[in-house]
Each structure stands twice: as structure tokens, then as C-alpha cells.
Amino acid sequence: MLRPEECTVEWLLTSPDAFGITTATPLQRAIARSLDGRPLGELWENPTVRRAFGHVLPPEGVTPAKVCIVSAIWCAKTILAAAKAIVASQTVDVSGLLPGDEVRIPLLATGRDNARAAYSHIVNTLVAKPRLQDLLASEPQGESVWVRHPSGRLIEITVAALSRAGSTLVSRRLPCVIFDEGPRLAGDDEAVKNLDDSLDAVEGRILDGGCIMIVGSPHAPIGPVYKMVKERFGRPSSDCVVIRARGPDMNPVRWTPERCEELRRRNPKAYRTDVEAEFADAEETLFPSAFVERAQRSGPLELEPVPGHSYVAAIDPGGRASAWTFCILEATASGYRVAVAKQWTKNSEGIFRAGAAMDELALDCKRFGITELHSDQYGFEQTSALADDRELTLLLTDWNAENRWKAAQSLKLALESGTIELPPLEQMRDDLVRIRKKVTSNGVTVDLPRGGGRHCDFFPPLGLCLLYPPEPPDDEEKPEKLEDDPILAELDKRARGDEWEEAARLCA
């Protein structure tokens, strides 16, 4: 039977009587202590520990409500989560529960097969180690095992599946919830079964002393874990601790300088995610996340009209499942600014009110002195009638492969040159980062991946605005010749080039 002083993640991680990682690095031990809210002590003097926590000491004396470990591979992050599940099963407060309350520790991942990794670590260790066998209340059955809390209450540890609205996680009391491969789990705007809904379902069901754990290696710079890392790394609190752990800092035996360099040479993207624990764009990404984020202003979501400046507006009415999106683009002395960007979706009753959306955007157009609105050909007649009723003229553009590519090239050049400013709107950022370039037999095209009812919906109105950009301010010196404008000159150069040469350049 475990003694109280042994009911810690660090003991379970490092003891030969448990998971047995006797050579745990300072960073692995520091993470283990932080999972229990224990002081890091002398470990905080280690530079690898400080770096992983964003140089801010995590809270002490309280178990963090949520811990997100974004780590390199081969670094025991799943074992850390498994150890925390066992600790939670022995230390959470169950005093207020009724006899009929079910207590469960769910293990979730991108699929049941992935979730079995944490389950396997837990079950095999409990069965194999004599010091832990007394915790077992029964023999493991399939994907479920029962352990006994010191109070005598039974707690189930089981593999679970992501479900609509987190339905598999409700109706139980939860000492701990583990989301493995968290960076690959979709958000509520991407999939019906997603991490956002699951977190909402469990937040209020965690027992005192318990926690939510999200672990995994970085993936693409989209999704709820990416946002969590972006917002909370270096800002630890009792609510949330985010840890970013490099391979050599967690497992220098595996990640030697020679092995790191070999992977970096063979596959730079895999090296970035699997060793450096950094999120990485896919090779076919058209708009790199670093450029999009650099373009986002830190100021207001919407701008006020500026006298003497010109504006254009565009709308993407979308379909029955996707959002309506709307942009107003402003020309400045140094480039362009997205002054307004909005979207409208179905309400809680599943009803979309196109008239209400058109009322709102008509007010924005009036505020900026805009009387014409660009749109694509889809649903043009119905949208045009709504616009006419509000004294707006809808201008038709055939939104085809050629125009999409031209708009994408304009936006790409503006992002690369830093001549466009975007609003601090996460949905627009995610839409742009998801866009891919695709090489076909006819050349290079723009691929707008669909997910969660969206179709990169902010790109069409922004792209239409860039196809018909506003005039620069009157006091701006307009280029006399095409070659005097570097963006237009580069676009013209690429337009005259061979499509297969362009494909090779983009995919290099």
C-alpha cells in the first residue's frame, strides 16, 4: 500500500516500485512536482526548467486546475499523465459524494487507439508492481479498470471517446481527465466532436484536488491547444499551467546532438515539432502563421473612418452550413488595413437570419460612406435583393480558380511585405492559416479546407477586397509606372511566368 508521502507524481514517475524512470531529468521532475502543486525547490535554478515554464514559477501549494504539456516525442509526457491519474485516484476529496455517485477518470485522445497508450501505462504498472497492486479493486476488463480510494470508494479509470457536446464526460464525478495528443484535437469551429466542448463539459465536474491534463506534441498552429499555449505560456496560475518541453531537456539520452541534427537535416518540420516542441505550418500552407500573426494589430477589433481615406467592402454570403462573412478594406499611405471584419452564423435554434446580418453590415457601409458591395456568384440574386432593400449595390465577381489564385497572391505579397494590417480576430487568423496551395495538372490552385461547417470563410471577402482595392489617400504618391510599385510588379512578373515554374517555386 502506498504511504501518503509516496502519493506524488514524482515518486510514481521515478521509483522502481512504480514507473521506474530512475534517470528522470530535472525538467521531468519539475513537471511532476508542478502537477501536484509542490515547490520546485532547487530545480528552479536549472535553465531547462525555467525555459519550459516560460521563466515564471508555477503556483505552489495547490494543484493546478488545468495543465497543458506540449512536449517533444520520446519524453514520457504520457507517463506523467498516467502517474497523475493514479495520484488523483488516491488524493481527491470524495467526502461530499453520495453512495450512488459514479467516479471516473476518463482517458481521451484523437481516437480510442491513441487513448489506450495512457491506459496501458496505468494498468500494466498497477498489475506488475507489488507496491501498487493493493490499489486494484478488480481485474482489468477490456478498456476499464477499478481502483480503490483510501476512503474505500471505487474509482473507474477507462478509455473514453470524444463525443458531441462532451456527452461521454457528463453524469460522473471526475478526479482527473486526460486528453492525450491534445494539440491534434479539433476545436468547436472545426468538428462536432472537439476539445472545446469536452473541456466545457468537465470543468465543473472535477473533484477538489483533481485536474485536467492535456498532453501531446505540437502540430499545426491552429486549434484550442495552440490558442492555450499562445495565451497562457509564461503566465502560470492555479487555473492553468502551460509547459513547453524540448526533447534534449526532457530526454537527452534519446535526443543527442547528433540525432537532433540528423532529423533536422532530413525533415526540418518534424524536427521543429518533435524535438523543439514548436508548432509548425504544413508545407503546403499558403499564408504562414508567423506572417498572419505579425499582421494582426494589437489595437481595436474595428477601426473608425478616416477622412480622406478610401474603402471597399465585400461579402461572402456562404451557404446553409457556413458563415456569412464581411470585410471593409482601407487604403493607407503604407498599404491596407482591414477596418471591419464580421461574421454571422446560425443562432442557438439553428436559424440564420440573413436580413439581420444585412441590416448590420449596411450600417457599417453607411458609416464608411460605402454604397457598393462586392460578392461572388453564389446566391447572388437573393443577396442582391437584400442589398437593394438597404440602398446597397451588389457587384458580381466570378469567384473562380483564377480569381482565387490572384487574390491569394495579392494577400501573400502584402503579408510578406508587411503592407497589410489585420484585426485581432482569431477566426480570421485560423481561416487564413488553414488555406493550402495545391498543384494540379492545370497549375497551382487555392484549396480552402472545410471543417466544422466553415470553409475558410474570411478569405473570400478579404480576397475580393484585394481584387478591387481602394485608392490610396490623396496625398499618397502614386507610382507612375508598374515597376515603381513592388507588389504590382511582382504580381505581373509571376502572372507572366510559366505555371509549372510557379508551382515548383511555391512547393520548393
Residue 78 has pLDDT above 60, yes or no: yes
Q: E-assigned strands of 349-441?
A: 372-375, 393-396, 420-421, 436-440
Alpha-carbon dihedral angle through residues 457, 458, 460, 463, given to the nearest 10 degrees: -160
Q: Are 15 and 24 in contact (CB under 8 A)?
A: no
- The full set of domain ranges for the chain reads 4-274, 289-507
CA 438 from chain centre, in angstroms, equals 23
Q: Are 197 and 233 in contact (CB under 8 A)?
A: no
Q: CA 126, CA 145: separation in Å to the nearest integer?
A: 10
Q: CA 487, CA 409: separation in Å to the nearest integer?
A: 10
Residue 492 has pLDDT above 60, yes or no: no
Q: CA 473, CA 90: separation in Å to the nearest integer?
A: 68
What is the b/e burial string over 115-154, where b = at least 16 CB atoms within 10 angstroms of the residue's CB?
A: bbbbbebbbebbeebeebeebeeeebeeeebbbbbeeebe
Which one is predicted more confidently, 491 or 104?
A: 104
Mean pLDDT score across all residues of the chain: 90
pLDDT band at residue 189 under the 50/70/90 scheme: low
Which of helix, strand or coil describes residue 107?
A: strand
Residue 507 has pLDDT above 90, yes or no: no
Q: 365: exposed, middle or buried (C-beta count within 10 Å: 0-12, 13-18, 19+)?
A: buried
C-alpha cell at 400: 473562380
Which strand (E) or helix (H) includes residue 200?
helix 195-202
Bridge pairing between strands 436-440 and 372-375: unpaired
Of 118, 116, 117, whose CA–CA distance to 142 is shortest? Answer: 116
- CATH fold group of domain 4-274: Rossmann fold (3.40.50)
Angle at 112 between CA 82 and CA 203, to 5 degrees: 60
Q: Are 27 and 46 in contact (CB under 8 A)?
A: yes
Of 271, 260, 286, 273, whose CA–CA distance to 229 is shortest? Answer: 273
pLDDT band at residue 482 under the 50/70/90 scheme: very low
Q: CA 15, CA 21: separation in Å to the nearest integer?
A: 7
Share of the chain above pLDDT 90, in %: 74
pLDDT in tens, 403-421: 999 999 999 999 999 999 9
CATH number, domain 289-507: 3.30.420.240
Residue 14 has pLDDT above 90, yes or no: yes
Q: CA 399, CA 380: separation in Å to the nearest integer?
A: 12
**Whole-structure pTM value:** 0.79
Give me the DSSP letters along 377-391. Answer: STTHHHHHHHHHTTT
